[in-house]
Amino acid sequence: MKIAFDAKRIFQNKTGLGNYSRTLVTSLSQQFPANNYFLYAPRKTDLYNIKASSNLEWVGPIDFFSKKFPSIWRSKLMSKDLLKNGVDVYHGLSHEIPQGLQHAKIKTVVTIHDLIFERYPSQYNPIDVLIHRRKIKFACKHSYAIIAISEQTKKDLIDFYHIDPNKIIVCYQSCSNTFFEEASSNQIEEVRKKYRLPKSFFLYVGSIIERKNLLTICKALNLINKETRIPLVVVGKGKSYLQKVKKYITANGLDHDVLFLAENNEINSQPDFLVERDLANIYRCATGLIYPSVFEGFGIPLLEAMSTGTPVITSNVSCMPEVGDDAVLYINPYDEKDMAMTMEKLINDSTLRSELSEKGKKRAMHFTWEKCATAVMEVYLK
């Protein structure tokens, strides 16, 4: 088969959607080498090594107009190039497909990661909400199949857009293989020293936005007895909500209990700040991940933590139970008392931490890239 992808984020996005796209395409090209994979993107960058596999090929705009207006090429003119190259299946990796494919004899697939903007529109620019809604509705209407990254996302597609359930296939994603690899005690300690991490700490990973609930973690931390309290290390950045969190931290004397890695200039100025391998070992240094998000499409930090053997405390809502199953501790994300009690429980019970570590590693094996690539290839074959 000749399989084409919307590869803009493969070459330009360093985080979630880019990681999903890069790792899926790499996994497909390695597991199913008989196919040819075409990466359609306005430009090629060093973010992805196209030469890693002989069955990968970048395709960019060719004519003057398409080069001059790459966004129009990507959204409206690409179908001509897809037909010219004899593409069998086109996969929009993140919520959209080009216009015109519905008139061509090219089978299309789209991955929908979440509809968070529909649940929390006030947290988005109103124009962005309209754009997201238009793109996703169009893609869902004109794709032969829709890949949802969780049952939660499938349910939202049905509830918000009334999509035929038979058209939606759940293909769970994974995290980078780096998090599944073993690390020596020396490597872990090197990272502890490099990032000046406390001996024991809770870890928060993610953007610092209201939905991910960092303020409630700080309120729970404030309820824990000072003698048993351990610090919170925050990996992530934020804007207005971050200032709200900081205001609470200062007002309650928690400045030495909450550490923002991105704001430590001596640490974040390093050229390899928070490279993947370092992040995996930061998880391994932690007493536990605290992830009380009120809503996610999947929740990659849960999987990253479980695959490294880090105990997890997370919300009992959205897709979190779907990912964590019985391998994590659940709390009410709106209840700081419940959160504080569970955090204290994890701090004080080493046996519980060991049990969760082993359960987490086993649970993580349900979400490998090999399984994801196999499930996606089954969609293409259908």
What residue segments make up the domains of the chain, in order of their start? Answer: 2-174+369-381, 177-364
Q: DSSP readout, 206-217?
A: S-B-GGG-HHHH
Q: Which CATH class is domain 177-364?
A: alpha beta
- Residue-level pLDDT, tens digit, the chain, 382 residues: 999 999 999 999 877 888 899 999 999 999 999 999 999 999 999 999 998 899 999 999 988 888 888 888 888 888 888 988 899 999 999 999 998 887 878 899 999 999 999 999 988 899 999 999 999 999 999 999 999 999 999 999 999 999 999 999 999 999 999 999 999 999 999 999 999 999 999 999 999 999 999 999 999 999 999 999 999 999 999 999 999 999 999 999 999 999 999 998 888 888 889 899 999 999 999 999 999 999 999 999 999 999 999 999 999 999 999 999 999 999 999 999 999 999 999 999 999 999 999 999 999 999 999 999 999 999 999 9
- Kindly list the distances between the CA atom of residue 227 and the CA atoms of 222, 231, 361, 372, in Å, as whole numbers in the listed order: 12, 12, 31, 45
- Write the single-letter amino acid at 265: N
Fold of 2-174+369-381: Rossmann fold (3.40.50)
Round to whole Å and give the CA distance between 231 and 221: 8
pLDDT of residue 361: 98
256 SS3 class? coil
pTM: 0.92
pLDDT at 173: 94
Beta bridge partners of 259: 233
Residue (of 139, 92, 126, 180) closest to 365 by Cα position: 180
pLDDT value, residue 271: 85
CB 295 within 8 A of CB 119: yes
pLDDT of residue 101: 84
- Within 8 A by CB and 6+ apart from 168, the residues are 145, 146, 147, 148, 154, 157, 158
